[in-house]
Amino acid sequence: MTASLPPPSDHFQGKNVVEHLKEARTKGAMAAREVHGTEMSGHLAAGADAAKETAIALFILAILFNSFQPLLIFLCGWLIWKIGRSALLGWARLERLHRLIEEERYEIEHHRAQEKEELREMYAAKGFSGKLLDQVVDILMADDNRLLKVMLEEELGVTLENMEHPLKQAFGAGVGVVLTGLLSMIGWHLFALPGLGVGAALSLFIATLISAKAERNRALNSVLWTFAIAVLAICVAYFLRSL
């Protein structure tokens, strides 16, 4: 005969402990997710994302204007935008996490009985039972700071050590734009539009490869799909220009 779950409480909003833990883990994952839509580190994601977008934007603009000066002007403005945007996205992520931390701190201070239930459920699921389970729960409940860290990591799935400073992400985006811009502009200086295309394609390839390796995706599939979408976007821009 299986043991019945603890009854729902106001803190659990009509859910039992298991349902509440599942909801909390989903909430933590949403708050801690990478702002650039990947699981790799923030500065690397920002750099790869910026490099890809810069490569496509420069090539499309080169098709439209076929002139060095407009490309250089665009690149300067684009660099500022990408750095600022990455920093803002990083700050937004930190704000979400800070709100989550304060919410969990409030629950620890005002709903200790329910937090203890959650703690028992989590460690029972890890295989603890009987007197050992009671000792673990009592030890953790005795220190609010340690309890907060445990609840953030175990209940919400948030690892504070993995949080990156927004300026580091902004720096990554800036590096991605600058490197792609240099390769593309050098290509333009040497061979005009075909040279820029080679530089942009090389940047796109490297950024896609870095992303695929960091996320442990299949590199070949990532490169093929990225280039297929890039070629489609460039072809559409070229044919629309010809109309």
> Is residue 124 within 8 Å of 2, Cβ to Cβ?
no
pLDDT digits (tens, 9 = 90+) for 40-67: 678 899 999 999 999 999 999 999 999 9
Write the DSSP string, 156-211: S---GGGPPPHHHHHHHHHHHHHHHHHHHHHHHHHHHHHHHHHHHHHHHHHHHHHH
Query: What is the value of pTM for the model shown?
Result: 0.75
For residue 83, what are its two tokens? Answer: 């750095």
Cα–Cα distance for residue pair 63/99, rounded to 1 Å: 46
For residue 170, what are its two tokens? Answer: 């902004």
**In the prediction, which pLDDT does 3 show?**
42
**In the prediction, which pLDDT does 1 show?**
39
Report the Cα–Cα distance between both ends of the chain, in Å, rounded.
Answer: 75
* Ranges of residues in the chain whose predicted pLDDT is under 70: 1-40, 160-162
Going by C-alpha positions, the residue among 172, 209, 213 that lies closest to residue 44 is 172
pLDDT digits (tens, 9 = 90+) for 150-181: 888 887 777 766 678 899 999 999 999 999 99
**In the prediction, which pLDDT does 36 show?**
46
Tokens 């390839």 identify what position?
205
**In the prediction, which pLDDT does 209 show?**
96
> Is residue 208 within 8 Å of 52, Cβ to Cβ?
yes
Give me the residue spans of the domains in the chain: 17-27+41-242
